[in-house]
Every structure is written in structure tokens, then in C-alpha cells.
Amino acid sequence: MNHRFSIFFTTIVLLIIAGVLILLLSVIDPSDVSAFGLLGILVIIYLFFFMALVFMYRIIELLTRFFKDSNKSKDVIKQQKSRRKIPYIISTLALIPLFLISFNSLGQINILNLSLIVVFEVLAIFYIVKRV
């Protein structure tokens, strides 16, 4: 797939998700919504951060292809293996805002809980890098 088209598609999807999220957060009162409504908002928040991270990855990938020497074909297999891990890592990193929202709703944002989030993310990414 063409990388410029991929960035364009990612941008369009990101803007649509952002629009839906802004619309829902401005129209819906959280005290009037059921548990499924709150779950839907959390899923949309997760999708927004997931697509934002995908967008940043695509931009970085495009910039590295632009500045990279194209004569080196030795690392093609290694690059293909590392590219398989990217969606897993991005989906793990997209959970950070949900953890922060959940700790904020409990009134438990402090250094200990932030360090627990960091440790969980580091362990999850380490597991992904070693197992995938």
C-alpha cells in the first residue's frame, strides 16, 4: 500500500473518530448514560488514541524511508519481523489514557499508581517484543 495513501486514510479515520468523540462528549451527560454508553465512550477514546499513535508511526515511517539509504537490503527480514510487533505495541500504549481515566475517576492518581501504569506498560511491551 502506498504510504501517502495510508497516512491520508489514517488521518481521515482519526478526524472522524475525533469528531464523534467531541460530539458525544458535548451532547451526552455522563450521569444520564447507562454502563454501555460509558463503555462506548471509553472504546471511542481508545480508538482515538490508537489511531493517533498509528498516525504518528506512519509519519515516522515515511520520514525514515525518505532519509534512509535505499541500498541496504540486508535488514529486510529483520524489519518485517519488527513491523509485525508494531500494532501490538501501539494497542498496548493506547491503553494508557484509559488507565489514567480510571484512576482519575477513583481519585487515585498519585506517584504509586502512575509508576504501576509505567511498570505494566513496560512489562507488556517487553512481553510483546520477546514473544511476537
User: Do residues 64 and 77 both lie within one domain?
Assistant: no
User: Do residues 8 and 61 both lie within one domain?
Assistant: yes
Domain range enclosing 27: 1-68
Burial class (CB in 10 A: 0-12, 13-18, 19+), 128: middle
Q: Which residue has the cell 524489519?
A: 79
The model scores a pTM over 0.85: no
User: Do residues 61 and 91 both lie within one domain?
Assistant: no
Per-residue pLDDT tens over the stretch 84-132: 889 999 999 999 999 999 999 899 899 999 999 999 999 999 999 998 7
8 Å CB contact between 125 and 92: yes
Q: How many domains does the chain have?
A: 2
